[in-house]
Amino acid sequence: MPNTLYDKLWNLHEVDLRADGTYLLYIDRHLIHEVTSPQAFEGLKLAGRKPWRISANIATPDHNVPTTNRSKGLEGIDDEVSKLQVITLDDNCKEHEILQFDINDHRQGIVHVVGPEQGLTLPGMTIVCGDSHTSTHGALATLSMGIGTSEVEHVLATQCLKTSKLKNMRVVISGELQKGVTAKDVTLAVIGKIGTAGGTGYAIEYAGSVIENMSIEGRMTVCNMAIEAGARAGLVAYDLTTEKYIENRPFAPSGDQWIQATKQWSQLVSDDNAFFDHEITIDGSSIAPQVTWGTSPEMVSDIDGLIPESTSDSIKHALEYMNLESGKKIKDIQLDQVFIGSCTNSRIEDLREAAKILEGKKVSDSIKRAIVVPGSGLVSDQAIREGLDKIFIESGFEWRAPGCSMCLAMNPDQLGDGEHCASTSNRNFEGRQGYGGRTHLVSPATAAASSIEGSFVDVREYL
């Protein structure tokens, strides 16, 4: 019987059926960060249990770390409660001898940027993390899912996730993208089409010529937001692009194992005629740069669109919160802050894309603050080697140290009450980027071009 990529990954990891009808799925890699793990380690200790396989785990602090003052390490964290959380991660990793890229390690960064970058994310793996954007790693033909803290504890103790099988959905992006339209616009357009619950209960495989021609960085951006469409997992088939991306990464196999691995990995594609419970196709050439106007990622519009009529309570509530009027042009939304970063868009390709637009230009005076936060220490190093940091700084952006930063504003990087922000992150929920803050999700290119103008612009006209 022909299988989908998801089916194959599932079959490779199914351990046993429990008495309750749920499956134990073997977990190859478990990523850990400071916010969702302390209670899991605590639970383990209280029950007198130990981690099942230490080497499956890898940790890095990201949500709470400040993006300034990093040379001071832990002492650079002003907020005592945040500091305790980062220290607790240190302690738990030390106690269990779990490999951690700690706050002083140049490999530290957002867990979903670090995993692939280090070759800790390898095709064919199952990967979990106490973070919903674990779907990112599916871009490398892995089955990767976000889990809650109880499940973190379960995976630590048993090396298995207790789960049921998802249904298969395929989203085909055909044709070719217009210039200036990026992976972020693709993933937002998909959410606009299927809605934030459209993928609930499914694993979404992204396919079609647009995805095939996309870099791994772009595919990660697309899979990252599968969860915003309600899907626990996003997937892209293995191909030569995947192989090239992984080769020579620190934790990737080498020598004979590399040959053996790539041979295995080449099977990680959906078979012809494999069955999908649901399938949609979007013409890639029809996708315009996207901007969200509301408080849910499905509240999204083409850049040349208008704020919609309030036809439901949800829209009414969102427009009130965002202080926007129906009929107003997206392009007329005035911006206060610009944020380039997050596990959606903080990889080197994203920074290059934004820097290309900013080169020789200045951020508008009406922008109070524009910051760029690389996804990891290594992304930062690479960008500095390419001189991108200088381009950002000269244009008026602040160049920061790696972390989640203003994606969820657990650290000091936050929006002020009522401020509008062009953000390359993934969630425009109320207060997500700061109390009363108003987030508009966009691509790095759109964020950069809009920072010059002070309001949203069509980046296609900027190229």
Cα 59 to Cα 72, 100, 115, 304, 400, distances in angstroms: 20, 4, 10, 42, 21
Kindly tell me which of 129 and 355 has the beta carbon lying closer to other proteins. Answer: 129
Kindly tell me which of 63 and 172 has the beta carbon lying closer to other proteins. Answer: 63
- Minimum distance between the CB of residue 443 and ligand SF4, rounded to whole angstroms? 16
Residues 404-443 that bind other proteins (CB under 8 A): 408-410, 417, 427, 429-432, 435-436
Among the listed residues 282, 142, 241, the one whose alpha carbon sits nearest the alpha carbon of residue 129: 142
Q: Residue 292's binding partner, choosing from other proteins, ligand SF4, none, with beta-carbon cut-off 5 to 8 A by kind?
A: none
Contacts of 260 (CB under 8 A, 6+ apart): 253
- Minimum distance between the CB of residue 157 and other proteins, rounded to whole angstroms? 5
Residues 38-77 that bind ligand SF4 (CB under 6 A): 62-63
Distance (Å, rounded) from C-alpha 264 to C-alpha 262?
Answer: 5
Check: CB of residue 404 under 8 Å from CB of residue 343: yes
SS (H, E, C) 220-283: HHHHHCCHHHCCCEEECCCCHHHHHHHCCCCCCCCHHHHHHHHHHHCCCCCCCCCCCCEEEEEE
17: β partners: 23
26 binding other proteins? (CB under 8 A): yes
Residues 316-345 that bind other proteins (CB under 8 A): 317
404 binding ligand SF4? (CB under 6 A): yes
Binding map of ligand SF4 across residues 410-439, x = CB under 6 A, - = no contact: ---------------xx-------------
- Minimum distance between the CB of residue 390 and other proteins, rounded to whole angstroms? 32
Tokens representing residue 126 in the block: 């199952």
Judged by phi (left if over 0) then psi (alpha if -120 to 50, else beta), residue 52 lies in alpha
Residue 122: strand, helix, or coil = coil
- Which position among 110, 125, 274, 452 is part of the footprint of ligand SF4 (CB under 6 A)? 110
Q: Residue 342's binding partner, choosing from ligand SF4, other proteins, none, with beta-carbon cut-off 5 to 8 A by kind?
A: ligand SF4
Kindly tell me which of 202 and 392 has the beta carbon lying closer to other proteins. Answer: 202
88 binding other proteins? (CB under 8 A): yes
183 binding ligand SF4? (CB under 6 A): no
Provide the residue type at 165 as one letter: K
- Minimum distance between the CB of residue 1 and ligand SF4, rounded to whole angstroms? 37
- Minimum distance between the CB of residue 112 and ligand SF4, rounded to whole angstroms? 6
Distance (Å, rounded) from C-alpha 26 to C-alpha 265?
Answer: 18
Distance (Å, rounded) from C-alpha 414 to C-alpha 262?
Answer: 43
Residues 305-344 that bind ligand SF4 (CB under 6 A): 342-343
Stretch that binds other proteins, among 10-18, 172-180, 216-224, 447-455 (CB under 8 A): 10-18
End-to-end Cα, the chain, rounded Å: 48
Binding map of ligand SF4 across residues 343-362, x = CB under 6 A, - = no contact: x-------------------
Stretch that binds ligand SF4, among 42-50, 119-127, 195-203, 403-411 (CB under 6 A): 403-411
- Which position among 158, 178, 266, 267 is part of the footprint of other proteins (CB under 8 A)? 158
Check: CB of residue 206 under 8 Å from CB of residue 270: no
- Minimum distance between the CB of residue 185 and other proteins, rounded to whole angstroms? 21
- Count Cβ atoms within 10 A of the Cβ of residue 278 and give its class: 0-12 exposed, 13-18 middle, 19 or more buried: middle
Check: CB of residue 219 under 8 Å from CB of residue 123: no
Kindly tell me which of 82 and 455 has the beta carbon lying closer to other proteins. Answer: 82
Tokens representing residue 33 in the block: 């960060």
Check: CB of residue 165 under 8 Å from CB of residue 11: no
- Minimum distance between the CB of residue 218 and other proteins, rounded to whole angstroms? 23
- Which position among 45, 94, 95, 148 is part of the footprint of other proteins (CB under 8 A)? 148
- Minimum distance between the CB of residue 113 and ligand SF4, rounded to whole angstroms? 8
Binding site for ligand SF4 (CB under 6 A): 62-63, 110, 112, 131, 133, 342-343, 404, 407-408, 425-426
